[in-house]
C-alpha cells in the first residue's frame, strides 16, 4: 500500500493509541471545564441567557440518555446509563487498540471522551449538565453539552471512516 498523507493512512499502533487517548482526555477536560464554568459560575443562579436570536445558554439537568430519552427520577437509571456508557467506552477502547488509521483513532477518542465526560456528570451530579440551546421559530433542539458534541462528531467520523474504508477495500479487491 503506497504511503500518502490521507487522514486514513496507516501509522504506528502506539502512536494511534496515544492519539485516540489524547483526544479522549482532551474531550473529557474540555467537557468538564465548560460544565464546571456553567454550573458553578454562569448559571448560579440558573437562568436563560440569550446569546443570539437562535442560541441560548440554559441549565438543564438531563437524567435520561440522549435527548432526555429514558428520563426518570430513579437513581438506578443513572447507574444503568452510566454503566452502559462505561461498557461502550471499554469496547471502543479495545477497538482503538486495533485501530490502524489516525482518522479512526481520533473518532474513537472523541466518542470515548464525550461518553466518559457525561459519565462523570452522572457520578458527580446524578444527571448530565446540558447548557447549549439552539432554537428557531419557537422550536428548540434538545439542550446539549461539549461531551455530546464530541460524541456526535466522533460518530459522524466513524460513519465516514466506514464508508471510505468500504470504498477503498472495494477498489483494492474489485
pLDDT tens, 113-126? Answer: 999 999 999 999 99
Q: Considering only residues 93 and 71, tell me which one the structure prediction assigns the higher pLDDT.
A: 93
Q: Which helix (H) or strand (E) holds 51?
A: strand 49-52
Question: Which string of DSSP letters, residue by residue, matches 65-97?
Answer: SGGGTT--S-HHHHHHHHHHHHHHHHHHHHHHH
Active-site annotation holder among 31, 121, 133, 148: 148
Give me Rg for the CA atoms of the chain.
18
Domain that holds residue 35: 13-173
Nearest CA to 111 out of 35, 21, 34, 37 is that of 21
**The model's pTM:** 0.84
Instruction: Output the pLDDT for position 171.
Output: 58
Between CA 130 and CA 134 the distance in angstroms is 12
Active-site annotation holder among 121, 130, 133, 161: 130
- Judge whether 3 lies within some domain: no
Task: Assess whether 31 carries a catalytic annotation.
Answer: no
Nearest CA to 115 out of 97, 141, 91 is that of 91
- Judge whether 6 lies within some domain: no
Task: Assess whether 161 carries a catalytic annotation.
Answer: no
Amino acid at each position: 500500500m503506497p504511503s500518502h498523507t490521507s487522514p486514513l493512512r496507516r501509522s504506528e499502533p502506539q502512536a494511534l493509541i496515544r492519539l485516540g487517548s489524547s483526544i479522549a482526555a482532551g474531550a473529557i477536560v474540555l467537557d468538564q471545564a465548560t460544565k464546571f464554568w456553567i454550573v458553578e459560575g454562569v448559571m448560579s443562579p440558573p437562568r436563560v441567557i440569550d446569546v443570539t436570536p437562535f442560541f441560548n445558554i440554559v441549565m438543564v439537568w438531563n437524567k435520561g440518555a440522549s435527548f432526555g430519552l429514558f428520563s426518570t427520577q430513579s437513581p438506578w437509571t443513572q447507574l444503568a446509563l452510566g454503566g452502559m456508557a462505561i461498557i461502550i467506552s471499554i469496547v471502543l477502547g479495545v477497538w482503538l487498540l486495533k485501530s490502524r488509521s489516525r482518522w479512526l483513532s481520533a473518532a474513537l477518542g472523541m466518542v470515548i471522551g464525550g461518553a466518559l465526560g457525561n459519565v462523570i456528570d452522572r457520578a458527580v451530579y446524578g444527571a448530565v449538565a446540558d447548557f447549549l440551546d439552539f432554537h428557531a421559530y419557537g422550536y428548540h433542539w434538545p439542550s446539549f453539552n461539549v461531551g455530546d458534541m464530541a460524541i456526535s462528531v466522533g460518530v459522524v467520523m466513524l460513519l465516514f471512516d466506514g464508508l471510505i474504508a468500504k470504498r477503498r477495500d472495494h477498489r483494492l479487491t474489485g
